[in-house]
């Protein structure tokens, strides 16, 4: 055989492509959703070698062995939080939707529902940052921050200056920032924080090595805890609202007081241990909690460190249990088959279902993919609102006026399976009413899609949307 002949090399290349296709058929469907498997196999069929390279880089939703070993120690770390909040734990009894939801969330995320909380919703971008800085300036013992994006722009500088002031008062400050989310600013932020005496670390740093970990498994959480008494979580990062040129973000943050803040503290402590191997005992970083208000609340952490798609399981269950109204706001909407069916079924049985997404697109391919779902949802009776005043980055859900969710999780496969996320679930009529009022304000700034008008968009646009949908499980 003469290997310098073009025909021989072409034959070998063709054979290699078919070997890749056959191997992917065997490997890809293992422990993977049908939608994700379909996306990978389509990519492998048309582009075998690029699919193989991409699969090696991001095809397996798992962490390296050293991290998995640390994850196994998390239940022990969380026991302190459970003991600390035991007096506020709510009994599991009865068959109401709220009681069943509390039990489900506890099984998914290990934290029970707690009484005695106060939850304040902060939809104003600057006021939310100013409230956080004011709480940092009041800190006496500990300040803990965990953010996907932490920049060194004017917003980041204000927060870093507050942390530096806290350190000079003898307050211990710890900060975690995601390596990819904060990549443009991470080196400067870590250097400035370290120089001022803050203990700061990058989460999931990207390192080139044999058998690399997936670079797209990110910590997307947004958590701040001050003295173990005040907590923040939601969609807002430590960055200016207009950090993307031509786009202004609209966010939503929940400020908590009471025992549920201990659960946010525990999530931070778990992530701190995973990155640094330093154990922060809840007893040392959280005071004895007292009742701060009438709200029942619960924290649900989710991601590859947990056994299943926790937040998606909760959302799908609540949609099926809804009898009056379901509203969700999200910047990215790429549902899998189970969520899509739940939304369509709820609308068909008379539930008033609203989805608020942004007209503005900061990720073109994701936007095209999510648009491909609008037709069938509208046809089922789901109301879709296109938010027109900037990028609606807030992630919120209300169900029948009694259950509300605020957190970091988008409604897409990445947030459901790949990213580490955190959600605050509240069981309170008044708080949920305030959350729904915020969602209604988004309705007022949105265009309600009409099915007949939507269907007359250009054929080439429909084609692009459908092509993007084919790979949407990979986005």
Annotated catalytic, 363? no
Candidates 144, 201, 220, 354; catalytic one: 220
Pick the catalytic residue from 144, 201, 222, 354.
222
Task: Please confirm, yes or no, whether 220 is among the known catalytic residues.
Answer: yes
* Active-site residue (options: 135, 201, 393, 428): 393
User: Is 207 tagged catalytic?
Assistant: no
Q: What is the 3-state secondary structure (H, E, C) of the chain?
A: CCCCCHHHHHHHHHHHHHHHHHHHHHHCCCCCCHHHHHHHHHHHHHCHHHHHHHHHHHCCCCCCHHHHHHHCCHHHHHHHHHHHHHHHECCCCCCCHHHHHHHHHHHHHCCCCEEEEEEEEECCHHHHHHHHHHHHHCCCCEEEEEECCECCCHHHHHHHHHHHHHHHCCCEEEEEEECCCCCCCHHHHHHHHHHCCCEEEEECCCCCCCCCCCCCCCECCEEEEECCCEEEEECCCECCCCCCCCCCEECCEEEEECCHHHHHHHHHHHHHHHHHCCCCCHHHHCCCCCCCCCEEEEEEEECCCCCCCHHHHHHHHHHHHCCCEEEEECCCECCCHHHHHHHHHHHHCCCEEEEEEECCCCCHHHHHHHHCCHHHHHHHCCEEEEECCCEECCCEEEECCCEEEEECCCECHHHHHHCEEEEEEEECHHHHHHHHHHHHHHHHCEEECCHHHHCCCCHHHHHHHHHHHHCHHHC
Per the annotation, the verdict on 395 as an active-site residue is: yes
State the catalytic residue, choosing from 216, 242, 352, 400.
400
Catalytic residue among 227, 271, 412, 428: 227
Q: Would you call 137 a catalytic residue per the annotation? A: no
Q: Which residue in 142, 395, 412, 428 is the catalytic one?
A: 395
State yes or no: is 450 an active-site residue.
no
Known catalytic residues are 220, 222, 227, 393, 395, 400
């Amino acid at each position: 055989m003469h290997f310098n002949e073009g025909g021989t090399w072409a034959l070998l290349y063709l054979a290699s492509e078919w070997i890749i296709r056959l191997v992917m058929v065997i490997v890809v469907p293992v422990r993977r959703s049908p939608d994700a498997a379909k996306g990978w196999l389509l990519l492998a069929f048309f582009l075998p070698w690029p699919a193989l390279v991409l699969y090696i880089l991001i095809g397996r939703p798992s962490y390296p062995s050293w991290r998995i070993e640390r994850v196994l120690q998390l239940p022990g770390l969380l026991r302190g939080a459970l003991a600390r909040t035991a007096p506020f734990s709510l009994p599991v009894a009865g068959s109401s939707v709220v009681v069943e939801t509390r039990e489900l969330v506890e099984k998914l995320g290990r934290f029970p529902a707690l009484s005695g909380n106060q939850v304040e919703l902060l939809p104003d971008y600057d006021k939310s940052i100013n409230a956080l800085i004011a709480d940092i300036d009041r800190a006496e013992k500990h300040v803990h921050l965990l953010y996907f994006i932490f920049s060194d722009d004017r917003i980041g500088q204000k927060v870093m200056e507050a942390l530096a002031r806290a350190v000079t008062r003898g307050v211990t400050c710890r900060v975690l920032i995601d390596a990819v989310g904060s990549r443009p600013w991470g080196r400067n932020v870590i250097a400035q924080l370290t120089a001022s005496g803050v203990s700061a670390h990058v989460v999931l740093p990207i390192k080139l090595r044999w058998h690399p970990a997936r670079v797209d498994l990110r910590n997307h959480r947004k958590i701040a805890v001050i003295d173990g008494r005040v907590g923040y979580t939601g969609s807002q990062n430590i960055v200016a609202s207009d950090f993307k040129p031509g786009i202004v973000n609209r966010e939503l943050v929940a400020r908590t007081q009471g025992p549920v803040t201990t659960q946010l503290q525990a999530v931070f402590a778990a992530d701190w241990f995973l990155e640094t191997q330093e154990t922060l005992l809840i007893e040392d970083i959280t005071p004895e909690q007292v009742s701060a208000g009438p709200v029942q609340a619960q924290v649900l952490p989710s991601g590859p460190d947990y056994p299943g798609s926790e937040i998606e399981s909760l959302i799908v269950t609540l949609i099926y249990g809804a009898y009056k109204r379901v509203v969700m706001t999200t910047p990215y909407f790429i549902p899998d088959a189970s969520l899509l069916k739940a939304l369509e079924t709820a609308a068909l049985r008379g539930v008033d279902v609203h989805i608020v997404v942004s007209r503005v697109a900061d990720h073109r391919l994701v936007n095209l993919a999510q648009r491909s779902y609008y037709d069938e949802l509208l046809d089922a009776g789901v109301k879709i609102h296109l938010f027109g005043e900037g990028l609606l980055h807030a992630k919120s859900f209300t169900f029948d006026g009694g259950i509300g969710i605020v957190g970091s999780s988008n409604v897409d496969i990445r947030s459901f399976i790949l990213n580490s996320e955190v959600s605050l679930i509240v069981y309170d009529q008044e708080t949920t009413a305030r959350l729904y009022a915020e969602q209604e304000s988004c309705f007022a700034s949105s265009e309600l899609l009409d099915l007949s008008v939507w269907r007359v968009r250009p054929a080439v646009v429909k084609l692009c949307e459908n092509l993007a949908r084919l790979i949407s499980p990979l986005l």
